[in-house]
Amino acid sequence: MIGRIAGAVLSKVPPEILVDVAGVGYELEVPMSTFYELPAVGEKTVLLVHMVVREDAQLLYGFSSEIERQLFRQLLKVNGVGAKVALAILSSMSSQEFMLTMERKDVASLIRIPGVGKKTAERLIVELQDKLKPGSLLPAASSDTQGATDEETGGGSGARLQDNRSQAIDALVALGYKPAESTRLVDAAVKQVTSQAVVETIIKAALRSTVSVTTKAGA
């Protein structure tokens, strides 16, 4: 089983990446929290890996911290939660935020995540609230960190922003959001960022808006 990968980033199309390890390209899916922290294409990265072996495929999921990988594995143990939903959860809120959501039994925040209905949200709380409390997993840096790519130099044109907008919409759709909702979230995020904003920044703003809306609604 593959537990760790170190190599050069060949491509980044959220939530999928391609990493070159000694001439072999490994395709991985990563939560957006990890994607934000990836270096530029061509630079080296180190990721912890969870490997899923199926009859028709061998799938790799990459994480920037052990706490994220542990949380991903705990999520997979919950009935009705597959890898896609687990990635959506980790992409929509940080590990600490998710554990606080469990502690507060905050169903409203959970059902805003694509693929999580009320029954699944309630099942997550029942099965994980005693296992996942702030500080219960291995110590690690918060996954809610500012990526090194928040600002980009050179040519922040309107055309570039529109291209990044399209990529951001595709990323949200890949995470499970409906096309119309993805477009709405990204368009709202684009209004909050500069014309030089990269894809990661737009996606982060879009996902953060879903959390803030839920928080205000539950206040």
Quote the number of domains for the chain.
Answer: 3
pLDDT digits (tens, 9 = 90+) for 110-123: 999 989 999 999 99
Question: Cα–Cα distance between 41 and 39 in angstroms, integer?
Answer: 7
Q: Which tokens hold the place of 195?
A: 């014309």
**Which residue, chain included where needed, has tokens 């209905």?**
117
Q: Which CATH number fits the domain that encloses residue 15?
A: 2.40.50.140
pLDDT number for residue 203: 86
CA distance 141 to 68: 10
Same domain, 167 and 208: yes
What 62-66 contacts at long range (C-beta under 8 Å, 24+ apart), as own/partner pairs, is 62/5, 62/17, 62/19, 62/28, 62/29, 62/30, 62/34, 63/30, 63/31, 63/34, 64/30, 64/33, 64/34, 64/37, 64/143, 65/95, 65/140, 65/141, 65/143, 66/137, 66/138, 66/140
Residue 148 maps to a domain: no
Q: Which residue has the tokens 């925040």?
A: 109
User: In order along the chain (219 residues), what is the average pLDDT of each group of 10 residues?
Assistant: 95 94 96 93 97 92 94 93 93 88 91 92 91 57 37 50 82 84 86 77 80 48
Tell whether 195 is covered by a domain.
yes
Q: What is the pLDDT of residue 144?
A: 38
Kindly state the helix (H) or strand (E) to which residue 85 belongs, with its residue range: helix 83-92
Which pLDDT score, from 0 to 100, does residue 137 have?
Answer: 58
> Does residue 120 sit within a domain?
yes
**Domain span holding position 101:** 66-128
- 169 and 205 belong to one structural domain: yes
Say whether 9 sits in a helix, a strand or coil: strand
Q: Quick one: pLDDT at residue 133?
A: 60
Amino acid at 44: K
In a domain, 143, yes or no: no
- Tokens coding 88: 């959506």
Which sign does the torsion angle of CA 135, 60, 182, 126 carry? negative
pLDDT for position 212 = 52
**Percent of residues in the chain assigned helix, strand, coil, to nearest 5:** 45, 15, 35
